[in-house]
Amino acid sequence: MSLLLSKELTGDSPTQGILKNGKAPEKKKHLEGEIINEERVPDMQLGKCRYVRLHDNVNYVAAGIILRGDGPDTEVLLIQEAKKTCYGKWYMPAGRVEAGETLENAVKREVREESGYECDVIELLSLEVQGSGWYRFSFYCEIASGELKTKPNQESLGAQWWSVDEVLGKKLPLRVKDFLPLLEQGLAYRNAAHTDIPRILPMNVNIPGLFMEFMIVRHSLDESRTEVLVHKSIKDEQMLVENDQPFPTVEFGFEYFFAMVVSKVYRHLLEEGGNVIFAPSHVVRIKCHPNPIQSLAHGISVRLYCQHKKSATKAVIRSPR
């Protein structure tokens, strides 16, 4: 299968991380040892955050799906809630990310506090967004050590392994049912052959704002050719591999919901917009690091995989300016 670059994306300004005026963007230290790029120039601007700080204007939640057994004997680890609003009901290990910890460390802490187990974080299963200031990162995890928690405390009443069939069949009182699709994703991931596919885990990079990158891919009808939309400065496949941010990028503020940003970008990049591109189907990369506590760069950059429809005629690419 051949790979072709669609380089018609035009404009005077480079995308994030590209050379500006022939010089590499200057990297500056931000607070305690943070390294951020001060000259991030997005292809599209939809507002701008003056700062992003955890528990101030953004909240991150980390959750873990943990399975054991095979076939009809497959079980999922659930915790019994101690909160008054959902006392005694069952849910996946989950909780707020605290400032000063990574997303992976947050899910490890939640699993340990609520179930008694130490876990290894294997893969990001899902990113869920409400508005533009609430994000839940759900991970597929595996038990590393520890024992099942049996003594109740403020974190949970305890934990238990439940049959997946019972959980999906709603045979027990659940806190909410929103984690059932995540459980199904965890089962699909566990059963898939994914040894040659790189794992998707958050990169611990401070981001001074909210950003989305769009990896828009188009396949020919006979599957013999693949095209990807890149910035005009990307000249060949080697540059695509080596450049950190080769795709169209948008910066947005809290006044824009996540789905609204996607819709506006589609219409901005392609004349037929949402008529020729499916909704984003995968998260390819995440940069997020709510550390150190006093940082104002607790933002997030998400790279989305977007599939162009095969049967569509070639859409005219608009200038980002």
Q: How buried is 79 (Cβ within 10 angstroms: 0-12 exposed, 13-18 middle, 19+ buried)?
A: buried
Which pLDDT value is given to residue 15?
Answer: 32
What span, in angstroms and rounded, lies between the C-alpha atoms of 213 and 215?
Answer: 7
Record the pTM.
Answer: 0.83
What is residue 317's DSSP assignment?
B
- Position 2 scores a pLDDT of 33
Alpha helices, H only, the chain: 103-115, 164-168, 180-191, 237-242, 258-269
pLDDT confidence of residue 26: 44
pLDDT in the model for residue 69: 95
State the burial class of residue 62 (Cβ atoms within 10 Å of its Cβ: 0-12, 13-18, 19+): buried
Alpha-carbon gap, residue 254 to 300, rounded angstroms: 12
Write the DSSP assignment of 166-212 as a string of letters: HHHTT-S-BS-STTHHHHHHHHHHHHS--TTSPP---B---EEEEEE
- pLDDT for 151: 94
- pLDDT of 311 reads 53
Q: What is the pLDDT of residue 113?
A: 98
What pLDDT is attached to residue 22?
31
pLDDT value, residue 41? 82
In 3-state terms the chain splits into helix, strand, coil percentages (rounded to 5) of 20, 40, 45
Write down the pLDDT at residue 193.
Answer: 64
> Where do the structural domains in the chain lie, given as residue ranges?
2-54+200-308, 59-191
pLDDT along the chain (321 residues), means of 10: 39 31 37 40 92 97 97 96 96 96 98 98 95 95 97 96 97 96 95 77 96 93 86 86 90 95 89 84 96 95 92 50 40
Looking at CATH, the fold of the domain delimited by 59-191 is given as: Nucleoside Triphosphate Pyrophosphohydrolase (3.90.79)
8 A C-beta contact, residue 280 and residue 189? no
Handedness of CA 112, 117, 118, 121 (dihedral sign): negative
